[in-house]
Amino acid sequence: MQPAPIDTEALAWMPLAEGISTKPLRFAGEERTQLLKVEPGVSVGLHSHGGYVHAFALSGSRLLDGQVIAGPGSYAFEPSGNRDCWKCTGNEPVILFIHMAGALVSFDAQGKESGRTTTEGLRQRYVAWCGTEGHPPVAIGARQ
Query: How many independent structural domains does the chain possess?
Result: 1
Q: What is the pLDDT of residues 70-94, one digit of tens each?
A: 999 999 999 999 999 999 998 999 9
Q: What is the CATH number of the domain that holds 110?
A: 2.60.120.10
Positive or negative, the CA dihedral 84, 85, 90, 96 is positive
User: In which domain, by residue range, is 84 found?
Assistant: 17-133
Q: What is the pTM of this model?
A: 0.94
Q: What is the pLDDT of residues 22-75, one digit of tens each?
A: 999 999 999 999 999 999 999 999 999 999 999 999 999 999 987 889 999 999
What single-letter amino acid sits at 80?
A: S
